[in-house]
Structure 1
Amino acid sequence: MHELNHTQIAQRLDQLTELSVALGNSPDTGSLLERILRVAKSLTNADGGTLYRPSADKQSLNFYISINDTLNIYQGGASGNEIDIPSVPLYDQWGHQNLSSVAAYAANFRQSVNIEDVYKADVFNFSGMRSFDANFGYHSKSFLTVPMSDHEGELVGVLQLINCKDPASGEIVSFSQTDQRFIEALAAQAAVALTNQQLIRQLEELLEALVNLINIGIDEKSPYTGRHCQFVPELTMMLAEAVHNTSEGPLADFRMTDGDRKELWLAGLLHDCGKITTPVHVVDKATKLETIFDRIHMIDTRFEVLLRDAEIRALKMKCEPGANHAAIDEALAADLARLRADREFLRVANVGGEGMKPDDQERVRAIAKYRWTGPDGQEQDFLSDEEAMNLTIRFGTLNDAERKIINNHISMTIKMLESLPWPKHLANVPEYAGGHHERMDGKGYPRGLTKDQMSVQARLMAIADIFEALTARDRPYKKGKPLSESMRILGNFALNGHIDPDLFDIFVRQKVYLTFAQKNMDPRQIDHVDEAQIPGYKP
């Protein structure tokens, strides 16, 4: 056994302090574990060392990394060399604790085991070690095995060191009590670091699961938004990587770390989380008269009443003396044809379009003034004011009140996200997610931000959101547009202050639009795009 002087103890304390700082800063579990073992070897001047991790079912110890200087062995860890050593069972076939293996003993009892000479020890089964020695011409002697437990006493690993060398003579000696205390201190620090990493990873996984939970809720409310919640973050990241790789132009300095990427991806997943508060009949409003159901069928029923009323009037007229049956039939035929034409017109008007003509809007209002007798026996206008208002919606299927409800989803998104205690590395999620309906000219919503007031990430998410909405083929209120038309619309948006023209240039130049289209769009939508004809883009 070698004893340490004050200088050596001070040096070890320095090493332990440095490791403690490194453990707190290491984001990678693999490199962290390797550093733990190498520092443990260095602290004790051990010839070899092994680090075990408990299996997922907690029934055995798996070799994670094994190092031996004399034999030039380096397996597991970052070496790339597979460990060909079998696991150490923690229990026997009857479920009793395995006490024959020193590593299993230390793990089961959470106690350190310090053996001066394994060939003189008869408590543990060292047949595997003796076989190892015989195969490699090695002589194992001193062993120090220390369990690593977290704050709840849960086993996170076992450190095993072999053959302590005397620094002066190089002779194999036993591990001292000072060695053991230092390694126990190291094991305690390492367990805390590993537990922290595990907790952080679990919290991140929980956060992503909660995000997916919100999206599942939105998808269940509206199957039409499911693809949007998936595709917008995907397209956002594609465009972000293209900007990251750009070395020329106004965005040449934009760069992302892995942390930045995770933050942006999460913002993309959450960009429409406020839709969980939006009524289903508004989100999925496929026609102008749809609420819980499409009320065009009620209007069809009223037309049936008018058609029958016309026939009844004609029959009554024919019953009068001297009635001109031919003229009555001719007038009836004209009335029936007009009513059927009006019914078909309203059916077409009920489908949202790109722009309803003023003449068609006036025709709806004229039909609305027809008189009919309702179930209560009272004569009334054929269409209510609310029905006429909906049927004269110029663009799409939403009236002004419903559009405000839809637009409110972004305010709810911001409100929900800003209410969360985001950690520092995710602090920008609300801004990224909440800016995708803003415009570069300040005419967007909900805050009327201008380009200079928005991050690059929020600006590029706006492009991803619009492009996906234009090309989506699963919306109840419209068909997916061809690729060329979508690019023409986006190009005009770049010209009129809607989206960032610099980002749009990269979107086209790096062919992000085409890569996304080939992967996710219906092939029938992917027509030829003449980039030279895209508004606002200069090849």
Structure 2
Amino acid sequence: MDNLRRELFFENILNNISDGLLAIDLDGTVFFVNPSAERIMGIPSSLVIGTSISTLMMENSENDEFFQCILDAVYEKRTVDTIISFSFHGRELRLHVVTALLSDGEETIGIIVTFYDLTALVSMNEKNSRLNKALAQSLDRFIQVMIGAIEARTPYNANHTKSMVMYAKKYLDWLEENGDSRVRKIRTPFIASVWLHDIGKLVIPKSVMDKARRLGSHEKDVMHRIELAIMCERLRMANDPSTKRSATRKIKQLEDASEIIMAANIVGYLNDEMSDKIEKISKMKVLTPAGEKVKLLDKYEKDSLLIRRGTLTAEEREIIQSHVIHTKEMLDQMDFSEIYGEVSTWAGNHHEFLDGSGYPNGLKGDEISWECRLLTIIDIYDSITADDRPYKPAMPPEKAFDILRSMCREGKLDLDITESFYESMAWDREKNEYFDDITFQQIEEDED
């Protein structure tokens, strides 16, 4: 290709590219402008070529930022790569400006400036940003509705969730202050998983979830049965004086049984002596107003009163444990994506233990993520220190950490996370400023 054809080839390229292009001498005078530059700037080439950038700047004062950027590149002989505003017939454009040094092979002889209109793309990004914010707000509202529904069914469980969020926020703050780089990325979805970790309890029967005593809703039935039996014995005695001795003895047995049953109903730990007494009482038969004899305790009542620790039977415990399955199923239907992609997994695995003894999937070791391990520790800590549980007294923090460390030694919990959580003091309500306002707080958004 000869020189003339080569020059025509390059001239054709420069005149037809969609990017605006200016060539400027080192004294700031424009010596080349292509049609795209004319169109984007809205200034004819006849007014640009041979004119200094400083003159153009004075004549187009509303676009000082654009021309100042070029002046800096010319006089400082440096490259620029930036996005700036540009006013065009009352519209504000967003231009991507790039400068490069122009040389003749030995020395710099000028500056090449290319720029193109990013307005549509920036507008689209801003629109997407608004949509993302709207989606985040929708998620906030969804969580508020769900937590409100849980709170309406069982206030202590909503307090449990709120407390866990406060512990989690303070602990993540502490980690970030100490240079943990992962916090910024996982903060928002992790806090969301804490808010939602017990959402599956919405489908758990209230009689099971709020069972404060071993007999639960059967307590009134048992006490009523005893009262009726005592009344029947008194009627029997009144109708037939010869039965006075046996009736009196039966009434005493029923009164003693009532005291033992009520004691076993609320005791924290059922010892062998009390267990034997319940076994004997369960064999007692009592009179009904119809003149029939029935067992004082049915199978459910007997099994409930024989629970060693806690208030739930084996069947009820399975029902309670199923809440994590329901949690994951419900959250999976939300089709979380992007930064929220792991929320359902973290929330659904908060009862898994490192040794595989947890539920619902018996995960172990590396199958359990750092986020799940942390959520589990915070969940257990609040469960045993909460002072609003209807079925047990609160435990002091130091005693609670003794239990957590014991579970670490058993291979159930992560010792490093447990000790880090302890060191952070995030568990200390008096030193955790998030507890200054325990009302519902929305999920915080990333600063970017």
TM-score (normalised: structure 1): 0.59
Aligned partners of 1:392 and 1:464: how far apart in 2? 31
8 Å CA contact 2:189, 2:340 repeated in 1: yes
Q: CA RMSD in A?
A: 3.6
User: Kindly tell me: are residues 258 and 8 of structure 1, through their superposed partners in 2, closer, same or farther at Cα, counting changes over 3 Å?
Assistant: farther
8 Å CA contact 1:370, 1:382 repeated in 2: yes
The match for 1:258 is 184
Aligned partners of 2:383 and 2:208: how far apart in 1? 16
Q: Which amino acid in 2 is paired with 1:427? A: G
Report deviation, 1:381.
Answer: 0.9
8 Å CA contact 2:281, 2:296 repeated in 1: yes
The match for 2:78 is none
Matches within 5 A, 1:70-219: 144-146=89-91, 186-219=118-151
Aligned partners of 2:381 and 2:42: how far apart in 1? 59
8 Å CA contact 2:168, 2:426 repeated in 1: no
Select 1:388's aligned residue among 286, 289, 302.
302
Aligned partners of 2:183 and 2:42: how far apart in 1? 35
Aligned partners of 1:397 and 1:14: how far apart in 2? 79
8 Å CA contact 2:328, 2:347 repeated in 1: yes
The match for 1:446 is 360
Aligned partners of 1:343 and 1:457: how far apart in 2? 48
8 Å CA contact 1:435, 1:458 repeated in 2: yes
Indicate the SS of the match to 1:383. Answer: coil
Q: Percent identity?
A: 25
8 Å CA contact 2:42, 2:88 repeated in 1: no
Report deviation, 1:461.
Answer: 0.7
Does 2:341 align with 1:415? no
Indicate the SS of the match to 2:90. Answer: strand
Select 2:271's aligned residue among 357, 360, 373.
357
Aligned partners of 1:504 and 1:439: how far apart in 2? 13
Q: Which amino acid in 2 is paired with 1:297? A: K
User: Kindly tell me: are residues 228 and 43 of structure 1, through their superposed partners in 2, closer, same or farther at Cα, counting changes over 3 Å?
Assistant: farther
Indicate the SS of the match to 1:207. Answer: helix
Report deviation, 1:391.
Answer: 1.6
Report deviation, 1:384.
Answer: 0.9
User: Kindly tell me: are residues 499 and 365 of structure 1, through their superposed partners in 2, closer, same or farther at Cα, counting changes over 3 Å?
Assistant: same
Report deviation, 1:6.
Answer: 7.3
Q: For each residue in 1:201-249, what CA deviation from the matched residue of structure 2 results, as whole angstroms up to 9, or x when unmatched?
A: 11111122212222222222222211122222332233344445557xx
Aligned partners of 1:495 and 1:382: how far apart in 2? 44
Aligned partners of 2:336 and 2:382: how far apart in 1? 28
The match for 2:205 is 279
Q: Which amino acid in 1 is paired with 2:283? A: K
Aligned partners of 1:470 and 1:491: how far apart in 2? 14
User: Kindly tell me: are residues 10 and 216 of structure 1, through their superposed partners in 2, closer, same or farther at Cα, counting changes over 3 Å?
Assistant: same
Runs of 5+ consecutive residues of structure 2 not aligned to the other structure: 1-11, 23-38, 44-55, 69-86, 96-114, 437-448
Indicate the SS of the match to 1:372. Answer: strand
Q: For each residue in 1:353-394, what CA deviation from the matched residue of structure 2 results, as whole angstroms up to 9, or x when unmatched?
A: 2x2112212211211222123355421111111111112112
Structure 1 stretch 211-220 or stretch 379-388: which is displaced more?
Answer: 211-220
Report deviation, 1:509.
Answer: 2.4
Indicate the SS of the match to 2:188. Answer: helix
Q: For each residue in 1:25-75, what CA deviation from the matched residue of structure 2 results, as whole angstroms up to 9, or x when unmatched?
A: xxxxxxxxxxxxxxx99998765549xxxxxxxxxxxxxxx97989xxxxx
Report deviation, 1:485.
Answer: 2.5
Aligned partners of 1:297 and 1:517: how far apart in 2? 43
8 Å CA contact 1:285, 1:398 repeated in 2: yes
8 Å CA contact 1:352, 1:397 repeated in 2: no
Q: Which amino acid in 2 is paired with 1:287? A: R
Aligned partners of 2:420 and 2:430: how far apart in 1? 14
Aligned partners of 1:258 and 1:389: how far apart in 2? 49
User: Kindly tell me: are residues 234 and 520 of structure 1, through their superposed partners in 2, closer, same or farther at Cα, counting changes over 3 Å?
Assistant: closer
Q: For each residue in 1:274-308, what CA deviation from the matched residue of structure 2 results, as whole angstroms up to 9, or x when unmatched?
A: 11221121111122222xxx322222222222323
Q: Which amino acid in 2 is paired with 1:395? A: R
Aligned partners of 1:504 and 1:14: how far apart in 2? 61
Select 1:299's aligned residue among 205, 215, 222.
222
Aligned partners of 1:255 and 1:190: how far apart in 2? 29
Report deviation, 1:500.
Answer: 0.9
Report deviation, 1:429.
Answer: 1.5
Indicate the SS of the match to 1:350. Answer: helix
Q: For each residue in 1:464-499, what CA deviation from the matched residue of structure 2 results, as whole angstroms up to 9, or x when unmatched?
A: 100111111222222222223322222222222221
Aligned residues: 359
TM-score (normalised: structure 2): 0.70
8 Å CA contact 1:214, 1:273 repeated in 2: yes
Q: For each residue in 1:170-202, what CA deviation from the matched residue of structure 2 results, as whole angstroms up to 9, or x when unmatched?
A: xxxxxxxxxxxx99x543333222211111111
Indicate the SS of the match to 1:196. Answer: helix
Report deviation, 1:463.
Answer: 0.6
Matches within 5 A, 1:36-55: 47-49=60-62
